[in-house]
Amino acid sequence: MKKVCISGSGLFTPAESVSNDELVVVFNAYVDRYNAEHADAIAAGTVAALAPSSSEFIFKASGIKARYTVDKAGVVDPEIMHPQIRVRGNDEPSLMVEMGLAAAKQALANAGRTAADIDAILVACSNMQRPYPAMAVELQHFLGAGGYGYDMNVACASAAFGVQTAVDAVSRGSARAALVVSPEICTGHLNFRNRDCHFIFGDAATALVVEPLETATGEHRFEVLGTRLQTQFSNNIRNNFGFLNRSEEPSRPWNDVLFNQEGRKVFKEVVPMVAELLVSHLTDLGIEPNSVKRFWLHQANLSMNQLIAKKVLGREPSIEEAPIILDEYANTSSAGSVIAFHKYHVDLKPGDVGVLCAFGAGYSAGSVVVRKL
């Protein structure tokens, strides 16, 4: 079994960002219109009036200030309230692949590699452009790589699951090097008319290069000391979108085929699950949690990340120990922990240990423990 490292990372960030204030203006315009249209029923008590959203609540409850989106115009139009995406021809790169390609090219450049060095491409993310052909195979085509590719979906934990799959393939020699690519257009499955969650998601794409430690040449290489995955069934984060929607009788309401969650329950149940995973994984590797220099955690909620790090460390984490990108990006699902890694790894010194940890629907959680070379 070969020793393996993460030798490069890449990030694609959409050009347009929507602030909390901008999002709240749109949501409240929708609420005003809805309440006016249903004024008689609301007065008669047969329809519940909608309550407005607020930027203060959003920041206090989540730590989010803004989010990037592939189409701001559609999101901030109260008549539309979702991204609008041009239908592309079958021979054009699909939007998710285009985003993934940008991140993949950057990750390859940072690793000092080219497409010719890659044998395996794993597109690991929450929502797929389509059922088939796999985005990974399309990405392989446009990148000009050989070998094989496939898509895998383990919701927000997808990147960690993808890294374990890549590490397994490279360490056993079934691939010379692998790319784990996580494109996310979370605004496409976000219900911007739901006050409880209209603020939580944003769009981005990330990529990581995984290759044998012996031959890697990237400037910032991280030996993978171990990976650990865990799943536990829950309906508290659920999206019922699927190919059988057309056949289901009666048809599901439109908002049932978008993202739904019980945020409070998720918070309460996922925090201990992830903290226990991290402590047991580090302990089994003989690493004292307080010696870990950095936790690149999934980015869904600021308090959640602080609490997980506090449970693992037994004290409050510093912002350097558990950096935050969700203020600028919101929750970008599988991309979140890799964005944190991408932005906050260059300063680590040889020998420093870090943990990339992703978690989300399923429930699913994954931990990747690395040491800077």
Q: How far is the CB of 56 from ligand COA (least distance, A)?
A: 8
How far apart are the C-alpha atoms of 136 and 315, rounded to whole Å?
41
Catalytic annotation present for 197: no
Query: CA angle, 191 as apex, 263 and 182 as ends, to 5°?
Result: 80
**123, 139 in Cβ contact below 8 A?**
yes
Q: How far is the CB of 164 from ligand COA (least distance, A)?
A: 19
Distance, CA of 151 to chain centre: 15
User: Does an H or E element contain 283, and which?
Assistant: helix 263-284
Q: How far is the CB of 221 from ligand COA (least distance, A)?
A: 30
Q: How far is the CB of 198 from ligand COA (least distance, A)?
A: 7
Enumerate residues 6+ apart whose C-beta is below 8 A from 305: 297, 298, 299, 322, 324, 326
Q: How many residues bind ligand COA (CB under 6 A)?
A: 23
Which listed residue (10, 317, 360, 366) binds ligand COA by CB under 6 A?
Answer: 360
Considering only residues 42-101, where is the footprint of ligand COA by CB under 6 A?
A: 53-54, 57-58, 61-62
Q: How far is the CB of 92 from ligand COA (least distance, A)?
A: 30
Nearest to 236 by CA among 126, 363, 127: 363
Which stretch in 131-139, 165-173, 196-204, 219-227 sits in contact with ligand COA by CB under 6 A?
A: 196-204
* Alpha-carbon torsion (266, 229, 124, 180), positive or negative: positive
How far apart are the C-alpha atoms of 104 and 112, rounded to whole Å?
12
Binding mask 149-188 for ligand COA (x = CB under 6 A): -------x--------------------------------
Which stretch in 92-100, 106-114, 191-199, 282-290 sits in contact with ligand COA by CB under 6 A?
A: 191-199
Which listed residue (300, 308, 338, 353) binds ligand COA by CB under 6 A?
Answer: 300
Q: How far is the CB of 263 from ligand COA (least distance, A)?
A: 3
Q: Which residue has the tokens 């439109």?
A: 254
**Half-sphere CA count of 308, side-chain side, radius 13 A:** 32
**Residues paired with 212 in a beta bridge:** 4
The amino acid present at 299, given as its one-letter code, is: Q
Q: Which of 156, 186, 197, 357 is an active site residue? A: 156
Regarding 115 and contact with ligand COA (CB under 6 A), the answer is: no
Question: What is the 8-class DSSP label of residue 154?
Answer: B
Q: Indicate the residue whose CB is closest to ligand COA.
A: 263
Considering only residues 208-267, where is the footprint of ligand COA by CB under 6 A?
A: 237, 261, 263-264, 266-267
**143, 121 in Cβ contact below 8 A?**
yes
Residues with catalytic function: 156
Footprint of ligand COA (CB under 6 A): 53-54, 57-58, 61-62, 156, 195-197, 200, 237, 261, 263-264, 266-267, 300-301, 304, 331, 360-361
